[in-house]
Amino acid sequence: MTAIALSHLTKSYPRQATPALADVSLAAEPGTLLALLGASGSGKSTLLKLIAGVEAPDSGEITFDGRSILRVPAHRRGAVLMFQKAYLFPFLSVAENIAFGLRVQGASRATIQAEVRRMLALVELPGIEHKRPAQLSGGEQQRVALARALVTRPRVLLLDEPFSSLDPTVRQTLQEAVRRIQGELGITTLLVTHDRGEALAMADRVALIERGEVLACDTPRRLFERPPTCRAARLMGVTTFLRGELAGGWLQSRLGALAVCGPSPREGRATYAIRPEQIRLRCLPGPNALPARILAQTFRGELSEYVLQVGDATLRVQAFQPVAIPAGGELFVELPPEHLFPVCDDEASSERPL
Query: Residue 9 and residue 6: Cα distance in Å, rounded?
Result: 7
Asked if residue 45 binds ligand ADP (CB under 6 A), the reply is yes
Asked if residue 44 binds ligand ADP (CB under 6 A), the reply is yes
Asked if residue 13 binds ligand ADP (CB under 6 A), the reply is yes
Asked if residue 20 binds ligand ADP (CB under 6 A), the reply is yes
Q: Which helix (H) or strand (E) holds 332?
A: strand 330-334
Min separation Cβ 40 and ligand ADP, Å: 4
Query: Which is nearer to ligand ADP, 15 or 300 (by Cβ)?
Result: 15
Please select the residue that binds ligand ADP; options are 41, 126, 186, 322, rule is CB under 6 A.
Answer: 41
Min separation Cβ 16 and ligand ADP, Å: 5
CA-closest candidate to residue 94, choices 52, 146, 45, 50: 146
Q: Which residues contact 218 (CB under 8 A, 6 or more apart)?
A: 205, 206, 228
Asked if residue 17 binds ligand ADP (CB under 6 A), the reply is no
Query: Residue 80 and residue 138: Cα distance in Å, rounded?
Result: 20
Asked if residue 16 binds ligand ADP (CB under 6 A), the reply is yes
Asked if residue 56 binds ligand ADP (CB under 6 A), the reply is no
Query: Residue 224 and residue 220: Cα distance in Å, rounded?
Result: 6
Which parts of 83-122 interact with ligand ADP (CB under 6 A)?
Answer: none
Stretch that binds ligand ADP, among 36-44, 197-205, 294-302, 342-350 (CB under 6 A): 36-44
Asked if residue 38 binds ligand ADP (CB under 6 A), the reply is yes
Query: Residue 62 and residue 217: Cα distance in Å, rounded?
Result: 17
Asked if residue 143 binds ligand ADP (CB under 6 A), the reply is no
Q: Phi and psi for 298 in degrees, rounded to 5?
A: -130, 125
Neighbours of 266 (CB within 10 A): 8
DSSP 339: G
Min separation Cβ 44 and ligand ADP, Å: 4
CB 154 within 8 A of CB 187: yes
Extended beta strands in 55-155, E state: 59-64, 67-68, 79-82
Q: Give the distance from CA 339 to its chain's centroid.
A: 23
Asked if residue 175 binds ligand ADP (CB under 6 A), the reply is no
Asked if residue 193 binds ligand ADP (CB under 6 A), the reply is no
Q: Give the Å distances, CA to CA, from 141 to 3, 10, 196.
A: 29, 34, 24
Query: Which is nearer to ligand ADP, 163 or 341 (by Cβ)?
Result: 163
Query: Which is nearer to ligand ADP, 40 or 321 (by Cβ)?
Result: 40
Please select the residue that binds ligand ADP; options are 34, 43, 151, 308, rule is CB under 6 A.
Answer: 43
Binding site for ligand ADP (CB under 6 A): 13, 16, 20, 38, 40-46
